[in-house]
Amino acid sequence: MQPKVALVTGSSRGIGRGIALRLAADGCKVLINYRSGAAEAAAVVEQIGGAGGEAAAFQADVTEGAAVEALVQGCLERFGRLDVLVNNAGITRDGLLMRMKDEDWDQVLNTNLRSAFLVSRAVMRPMMRQRFGRIINIASISGLSGNAGQCNYAAAKAGMVGLTRSLAKEAGARGITVNAVAPGYVPTDLTHDLPEALLAEAVKATPLGRLGTVEDIAGAVSFLASDDASFITGQVLRVDGGMVF
């Protein structure tokens, strides 16, 4: 079998970077997507190449339809096919709802949810033609249980869950599975501003007694992208140490 080709949005750093590295280690060819971190994306490509894998980087703002179409077309031109999509791009703009600015709501919904809609739509045609595909959305436990100060982020991630379940029903007949991974607290650039007291409370509320790691999330994505998960679709896999049931 020829190697799978994976596209990971927002994969120049953080969880996206870890997912890209893991999929490359699994034997996938990987397209690294970034919006502004060109140097970081190049470093990921170099690391994958140094380990014997194959990767390329592609700049695209995945909140813009034309840029997304160019991204997917670029992947097809570079690698000839597209088997795995990981919708990972995301930002936070935390604050209490009564003080939240319109732009903080719009930016989070656009980056976290609109992008997943745009990229998923763009990959459907090539995946349907080859009658195979894996779409994996990076949601969050915030989208399942809510989180004070994150109405915008929680709403976007809850929307990803609805997108996941609906698209799974649309795409299953063509051999395409659609699932979501819902991470708990994972130290990355996205969470580095969280107060130490909050992180300590998160550890206390986690039965396994620790924060998550990028590798924990990447391992879950690896499984859902594999042939072992071929009969799993429309599911949300919580990777949170037991914080949310």
Question: Residue written as tokens 């995946």?
Answer: 127
The amino acid at residue 140 is S
Residue 152's alpha-carbon distances to 85, 97, 107, 237, in angstroms, are 24, 8, 9, 22
d(CA 121, CA 135): 11
d(CA 219, CA 223): 6
Q: Which of 150, 153, 217, 220 is labelled catalytic? A: 153
Q: Length of the chain, please?
A: 245
Tokens of 238: 């919580």
d(CA 4, CA 123): 14
Those residues with Cβ within 8 angstroms of residue 44's Cβ, 6 or more apart along the chain or in another chain? 11, 12, 17, 20, 21, 32, 55, 57
Question: Residue written as tokens 């949005």?
Answer: 9
Beta strands in 60-192 (DSSP E): 84-87, 133-138, 176-183
Q: Is 153 a catalytic residue?
A: yes
Active site residues: 153
